[in-house]
Amino acid sequence: MALIEDAKGRREGQSPSGYTRLFGIFALGNLMSRVQGAVIASGNELEDMIWERVKYPIADLDEFISKTIHTSENKTYVATKNQIKKSKSINSKYEPDFIAFNPSSRHCYIVEVKDGDTFDTKKSAGEHITLHNFNNDISQSLPYSTSIHMCCFNSPTREEPFYGLKKKFALQELLTGKELGNLFGFDYDEIVEMRTSDQQSNLDYFIRAILAIDNIRNMIVKRLKG
């Protein structure tokens, strides 16, 4: 999990963040913006952790596509967003987090990964449209059938993101983190355990940062004294 102490907040002199306007204390607003930054960074970190652990990573996407036209190997090979962006075989302005190919079933999985599982209606609809647009762009140019999938990594079942995404995705278009691990060939529980290990560090830092703000510390002391 990304660490709050490594995240950047707003500097003095910048326009106040929404958190500063909410609480009226710059130092607290700065801390909360760092918390938000750490949450965003955790999503990027998750993608990296998954990629580092996939069983069959693709080294060169264009070469892979050209060489697997006549093979029937029953393995799932994975490529990243950056590889999709650089590919000459795939032409789309949209870039999902991962695409995965199974040469045996001749199927390509188009996968977006999210740390959370609840989004507003506009965001949910946008995510669905983006994945379908990418699917439409590549479906005629690849010798594979295709399907789109939203993976809400921390959800134990598909039902939570089904409602959290405002029913914009069908159940068969959703994946849990454990299901993604089975598809990509990585240990889901290992990633969860590694990320959980940073929670105490974040909690300790947050408490220290709160107590370092004089007026908040004084308020806490006053409340504790009754």
173: pLDDT strictly greater than 80: yes
Question: Given this model, what pLDDT does residue 108 score?
Answer: 96
Mean pLDDT of the chain: 91
Question: Given this model, what pLDDT does residue 55 score?
Answer: 97
Question: Given this model, what pLDDT does residue 42 score?
Answer: 87
- Decide the pairing of beta strands 98-102 and 107-114: antiparallel
Question: Given this model, what pLDDT does residue 140 score?
Answer: 86
Kindly state the average pLDDT of the residues 143-168: 95
- Which residue has better confidence, 206 or 14? 206
40-98 pLDDT, tens digit each: 888 889 999 999 999 999 999 999 998 886 777 899 999 999 999 999 999 999 999 99
Kindly state the average pLDDT of the residues 194-205: 91
Dmax over CA atoms of the chain, in Å, equals: 76
The structure tokens 């989004």 sit at 119
Question: Given this model, what pLDDT does residue 141 score?
Answer: 86
Question: Given this model, what pLDDT does residue 54 score?
Answer: 98
